[in-house]
Chain A
Amino acid sequence: MSTIRQNIKEEEASRIENIDFKMVTFSLAGKEYGIDIMKVKEISKANRFTFVPNSASYVRGVYNLRGDIISVIDLRVMFNLPAPKVAEGVMEDMIILRLDEMLIGVIVDSIDKVVGINSETIQPPHPIFGDINIKFIKGVVENDDRLYLILDVERILGQKGEDPSRGPRPLAAVAPVEEEAYPEDKKLDAEPVTSEAKVDFSFVVETLNTFRHFVVSPLNIAWTEHRFEQWKQERGAAVEAVQLQNAEDADTFLLPFYSDASGHFFPASLKDSYAALFRGLKTDRGQIAVWNPGCGRGYETYSLAAILKELFTDKAVKIWAHDKDLLSISTAPNLIFQKEHVPNYLLPYVVEGKNGLSVGPELKDLILFEYHDILHGNPFPEVDLIVARDLGSFFSRQDQDKLIRIFTEKMRTGGLLVLGKNEVISDPGWETVEQAGLTAYRKKR
C-alpha cells in the first residue's frame, strides 16, 4: 500500500474517531441550527397542544407525552422569527429536551438529521449574529458545507441564567394565591356581605372538603353560594346550626348537588332529554366513542348505552367506563337489579338470571368497565362524548385543572362534554350547548 493511501486512511480514521459531539439539526426561518443530542430526549411530530391561558406568547401550551404533561415552546416565536400558521391537523416538528429533570418540547420549522462533529471544530459565536441573542449561542460549526449555529438550550430554557423578565415563572407564583383567595373574592365582588357570613361560608367550604372531599372551586362556586343561602334559611340563624358538624350534615348540604338519577337508571324523561342533547353529536366515522369516568356501579353507563344505541343505529357505540372505587366497579359488569327499577326503554336489553335481572350482552358488549384512576395515563383513543357527572368537584383544585386538560386532550373537535347539573366550566376551548334543559360543552378547536 502506498504511503499516501495509508496517510489518507489514517487521516480518515482519526477524523472518525474524533467525532465527540453529536447534535440534532433543524431549521428555523431558513437557517440551520443544532442542539446537543445529549439534551434531546426524543423527537416527534405533534399537534393540538392544550392552550394555557395567560402564558407567555411563545408558550404553545402543554402536551401529553405518554402520560407526562410537558410544556411546549415555539422557538420561532421566542426568537421573534416568522412562525407560519399551520392548518388544523397538520403535525409540527417537535424536539423534546431533557433539562435537569424537566422535559420541555420545542417547536421548530423542520428537523433535519443528526450530525456528528469534532467538538474542537466548534468556533465561538461572532457578535455579528443578530438574529438570535448571542448569549444563547454556544458556537458555530461547519459540516458538509453547511453552517450550523449550536444553541445553548440550557441557557434558553433551563433554570440556569434565567432572565426574570421572561418565562412562565410569574404564572406559577400567581396560581396558589388565586386558589386560596377564591371564594372570599368572589363573595366581595357580588355584594357586600358581613364578615361573619364570610367566616361561616369559608367554614362550610372547609368542612365539605373534610367530610366528603367536595372541593369548592369555579366549577361549583355558584351552586355552593346559592346552596349556602338556602341552607342558612333552612337551618335558622344560629351559628352552630349553619355549620356542618359531621358527615351527615355535609351529605344533607350536598344532596341537591348531585345530578338527576345519580346511582339509578335514567328515568324515561331524563333519557329523552339526553337523547335530544346527544342528537347534536356529529361524526363521519362508523363509531361513537364515549368515555364515562366515575361510572360507579354502572347504572349511568347502561342508561347511556341504551340511549346511544337507539340514537345511532348505523354506528357502533363503544363506551369506556372507569371508576376508582373497586367495590362499585366490580359489581358493574354483572349488576343485579329488580324489575320495578328498570325503565321501559331498558327492558328490551334486560335478561333474567337466577339472582334477579341483569343487563344482557347486547348492551354489555358495548361497554368496557375498568378499574382506573383518571389522573394516571388514559391509554385509549380520542372520544366523541365524555360523561363525567359530579366527578370534578371531588378532586383538588389542581387536579380539577388537570382533569379539564385531560378532557380537552381526549376529546375530538366538536365532541360533547357532560358535567354534573351544578358544575360549570368557563374555558375558552369549550362552548356551552343547551338542549332540553341540559347543559353540555362542545370542544371548539
Chain B
Amino acid sequence: MRVEYINPFVESAFNVLKEVVGSNVERGELFLKSSSQPVLGVAAIVGLAGDVEGRVLFDMTKDTALGVASAMNGESLTSLDELVKATITELANMITAQAVTKLHELGFKFDLTPPALITGENMEVTDTEVEALIVPVQLEQGKIEINVAIRERA
C-alpha cells in the first residue's frame, strides 16, 4: 500500500476520536495483515472508488461500540439499537471523510460509498488482492481497529 495513503487515515482517526469521544486516545503500532482477517463483532465499512479503490473498515467489539456510542450521545446505551448503529456509522463517515479530504489535497481523486454497518460473531473479511493496514486505536471504551485496504486502480 502506498505510504501516502496511510498517514491521512491515522491522523483523522486520531483527531475525530479525540473530538467526539473526548477521552484519552492512544495509537498502537501499525501493522499489515494478509488476506483473511477475523472481525471483532461490529464493523462499519466504507468503500472507495476512483483513482484508488478499496475499503476502510472500522472494527470493534460490541462493548466498545456501545461505549463509544454512549460517549458520543452523552447517555448510557446498553443495547445495539438503531441509535448505536447510526452513531458508529456516523463515526466511520467522519473519519473517512476527513482522511479523504486530506488525500484530495494530495491530488488523489475518488468517491466514497455511504458506510454500511455489519454486526455478528465469528465473521471474517477477505481481500485476496490487497493486504490490509491495521491502525489500532486504544480508547477508554476499548480498542478500535481501523483496517485500511486500498490500492491504485490497475
Interface residues of A (CB under 8 A from B): 66-67, 324, 326, 329-330, 332-333, 368-373, 375-377, 379
* Nearest-Cβ distance from residue B83 to partner chain A, whole angstroms: 37
B14-48: CB near A (< 8 Å → 1, else 0) gives 00000000000000001011110000000000000
Residue in A closest to B33 when the chains form the complex, CB atoms: A376
A370 touches B129 (CB 8 A): no
Residues of B within 8 A of A330 (CB): 3, 6-7
Contact at A66–B128, with CB atoms within 8 Å? yes
- Of the candidates B3, B34, B151, the one whose C-beta lies within 8 Å of that of A67 is B34
Pairs A–B under 8 Å by Cβ, sample size 15: A67-B35, A67-B128, A326-B6, A326-B30, A333-B4, A368-B2, A368-B152, A370-B2, A373-B32, A375-B34, A376-B34, A377-B34, A377-B35, A377-B130, A379-B129
Contact residues on B (Cβ < 8 Å of other chain), bracket: 10 to 19
Separation in Å of the B124 CB from the closest CB of chain A? 14
Smallest Cβ-Cβ distance to B129: which chain A residue:
A379
Q: Please, how many angstroms separate the alpha-carbon atoms of A379 and B153 in the complex?
A: 12
Chain A: minimal CB distance from B55 (Å) = 15
Cβ of B133: which chain A residues have Cβ within 8 Å of it? 371
A371 and B130 contact, CB distance less than 8 A: no
State the majority secondary structure of interface residues on B: mixed
Inside 8 A of A372's CB, which chain B residues have their CB?
1, 32, 131
User: B74-130: which have CB < 8 Å to A?
Assistant: 128-130
Which residues of the partner chain A approach B2 to less than 8 Å between Cβ atoms?
Answer: 368-371
- CA A356 – CA B3 in complex, angstroms? 21
Task: Tell me, in angstroms, the Cα distance from A372 to B2 when the chains sit together.
Answer: 9
> A332 CA to B2 CA in the complex, in Å?
11
Cα–Cα distance between A324 and B3 once the two chains are bound (Å): 11
Residues A370 and B32 in contact, CB atoms below 8 Å apart: no
B2 (CB) vs chain A CBs: closest residue? A370
B74 to chain A, nearest CB (A): 37
By a CB distance below 8 angstroms, the chain B residues around A324 are: 32
Minimum CB–CB distance for A322 against chain B, Å: 10
Which residue of the partner chain, among B7, B34, B151, contacts A373 with CB atoms under 8 Å?
B34
Q: How far is the CB of B28 from chain A (nearest CB, A)?
A: 13
Q: Are B129 and A371 in contact (CB under 8 A)?
A: no
**Cα-based distance from A67 to B32 in the complex (angstroms):** 15
Q: A329: which of B3, B33, B35, B131 is its contact (CB, 8 Å)?
A: B3
In the complex, which residues of chain B have a beta carbon less than 8 angstroms from the beta carbon of A67?
34-35, 128
CB nearest neighbor in A for B151: A379
**A370 and B34 within 8 A (CB):** no
Contact of B131 among A326, A369, A373 (CB under 8 A): A373
Residues on B with C-beta less than 8 A from A377 are 34-35, 128-131
- Residues of B within 8 Å of A369, CB to CB, are 2-3
Complex interface: chain A residues within 8 A of B131 (CB): 372-373, 376-377
Partner of A371, one of B32, B33, B35: B32
